[in-house]
Amino acid sequence: MTEVVASEWETPLKTHLTGFDLVTKPMLNKGLAFSLHERDVFRLNGLLPPHVATIEEQAERRLRVLRAFSTDFERYAFLRDLQDTNETLFYAVLVRHIEELLPLVYTPTVGEGCQHFSEIWRKPRGLFLSYPNKGRIREILADPRYDRVRVIVVSDGERILGLGDQGAGGMGIPIGKLSLYTGCAGIHPDLTLPILLDVGTNNRERLNNPLYIGWRHERIVGAEYDAFVEEFVSAVIERWPNVLLQWEDFAGSNASRLLAKYRDRLCTFNDDIQGTAAIAAGTLLAAVNVTGIKLTEQRIAVLGAGSAGCGISALLLRAMVDAGLSEEEARAAFYLVDRNGLLVDGMEGITPAQTPFVQKREAISDWVLDEPGDIGLLEVVRNAKPTVLIGVSGQAGAFTEQVVRAMAEGVEHPVIFPLSNPTSRSEAVPQQVMEWTNGRALIGTGSPFSPVQWQGKDIPVDQTNNSYIFPGVGLGVLAVNAKRVTDAMFMVAGKVVAAMSPTVKDRNARLLPPVDQLREVSLAVAKAVAIQAQADGVAESCDQATLDQRLKSLVWEPTYRPYELVK
């Protein structure tokens, strides 16, 4: 594959398309920004009103329309339509107003977008690889329009955020994620491809909806499912040997298993497991600047012991070992609570990912319990006195007033991260957490929340969102043509975010850089990830100057290029 060079996005683009065929191509359409000369050459006179606009004027026009809608779902649908009409303008608006638009393009609004994806679907974007297409995936991927693809985000729609099985509607997640690869890290849209593995759905509401666009069939499972995924992965490796494949929103029963199965066959990662872990680790490291409690002295309670909870715990455990603890000492600092309570040895159904975090029964033998049996979150907090409480359970309100007040009794500055998405599934509301802890909590949430009010001040709530991590990881991988994605690459990504925390200079500041700095964060993450990939022996070696040039060449600014007609 030809490497993208810095001047490519600035040189004239040559195309044979004219008239209506040109303006209906999202990546080529300029709308009113076509110059008078281009309108003559490309036969656009009459198709467009006479005014010639700048991209800034177009962005302002779109923002006025966007802000006039009454609901965020309407804004989401409008932005999706803009992306499918004029892709350059869509990204120009997104990049210039990332803080305002991030919650609309991705969490939390993307959840509703997935629920109603069938109702608003208008134009093809990405690929729906449905189970009836088995045996034809290589043929579908072979289309020349996908020759330049470097980054794929794939989902099977089974566990969309905290909303469960959305079937084909899950395509909203790969589309949204890849929008952030471009908006936050500058990876050109032509290099990205969203894919939905449509293996059916068990969501009766979707199946009974006459407008549902997916395959109307219960989910394929077991050997048939695995064979379909294998056909997909094998076809991807054959079609794009150097592609980066990101798994997104697969059910817990498949997420860890598929990552383990394929991570040594191609350059791949699971953002729910590894990206979530990296941003949680980075935010916790930033919180250390405030609390003064060393990483080796943290006690961490996690509600939700699925793929995300275990992924977070695994990365934090490794960070604690790197900081000086033995592995046994680090494991003892974790208290994972699942649907059957605290994970303890002898409990049935413990998964391989959960095994390192099972508490020994003798270690909790002196705990004071309300009654014998399963040990709930409140009892864990009262007895273990954790310094950190992380929620990835999808259970709205699971961090009850009793739990939060118990956290505040055990530590001066409790670190509380209700990370479940969308907002409706968050384990706690930040305003209540602040009140229940008398203003002492350090809060990070998975979805955006309004600032909390405390003692007459507006205190911003840090969105502990993967968008701080995965766009930069992707950019770093592409810059050095990494063959694999290692855990160390995610560790360094989290550390970079922590190093950019405002708390480094002011312990009273917010934990994470503002969202409007995501491009700077992504570039810093990309540099660190690229260097780590080389150190891990999974990427091409290059000096710093070459790396900087490669990164620069890959960062696309959403501006219009001049066009030349090819006859």
Q: Pick 108 or 372 by higher pLDDT.
A: 108
CA atoms of 319 and 165, how far apart (whole Å): 33
pLDDT for residue 3: 44
Instruction: Say if CB 395 and CB 427 are below 8 A apart.
Output: yes
pLDDT for residue 284: 97
Per CATH, 99-265 and 274-466 having the same topology is answered yes
User: Which residue is catalytic, options 30, 76, 177, 212?
Assistant: 177
- Confidence label for 287 from pLDDT (cuts 50, 70 and 90): very high
Does domain 274-466 bear CATH number 3.40.50.300? no
State pLDDT tens for residues 497-532: 999 999 999 999 999 999 999 999 999 999 999 999
pLDDT for residue 2: 36
CATH architecture type of domain 99-265: 3-Layer(aba) Sandwich (3.40)
Contacts 24+ apart (CB under 8 A), 334-337: 334/300, 334/302, 335/299, 335/300, 335/301, 335/302, 335/359, 335/380, 335/384, 335/386, 336/301, 336/302, 336/305, 336/309, 336/310, 337/301, 337/302, 337/303, 337/304, 337/305, 337/375, 337/376, 337/377, 337/380
Q: In the chain, where are the structural domains located?
A: 99-265, 274-466, 468-554
pLDDT for residue 373: 83
DSSP conformation letters of 118-142? HHH--S--SEEEEGGGTT-HHHHHT
pLDDT for residue 4: 43
Q: Which of 42-51, 92-101, 345-354 is predicted least confidently?
A: 345-354
Is the pLDDT at 1 greater than 50, yes or no?
A: no
Cβ neighbours for 90, distance < 8 A, ≥ 6 positions apart:
79, 82, 83, 558
Is the pLDDT at 328 greater than 50, yes or no?
A: yes
State pLDDT tens for residues 10-46: 688 999 999 999 999 999 999 999 999 999 999 999 9
Q: Is 177 noted as a catalytic residue in this protein?
A: yes
Looking at residues 150-173, what average pLDDT do you find? 96
- Confidence label for 130 from pLDDT (cuts 50, 70 and 90): very high
Instruction: Say if CB 299 and CB 332 are below 8 A apart.
Output: no
Is the pLDDT at 336 greater than 50, yes or no?
A: yes
User: Which residue is catalytic, options 106, 181, 262, 560?
Assistant: 106
Is the pLDDT at 7 greater than 50, yes or no?
A: no
pLDDT for residue 8: 63
CA atoms of 503 and 498, how far apart (whole Å): 9
State pLDDT tens for residues 55-96: 999 999 999 999 999 999 999 999 999 999 999 999 999 999
Looking at residues 329-346, what average pLDDT do you find? 96
pLDDT for residue 242: 94
> Percent of the chain having pLDDT more than 90?
95
> Percent of the chain having pLDDT more than 70?
98
Can you name the residues that pair with 526 across neighbouring β-strands? none
State pLDDT tens for residues 181-205: 999 999 999 999 999 999 999 999 9
Looking at residues 337-361, what average pLDDT do you find? 94
CA atoms of 111 and 357, how far apart (whole Å): 31
pLDDT for residue 567: 84
Tokens matching residue 524: 């810093």
pLDDT for residue 55: 98
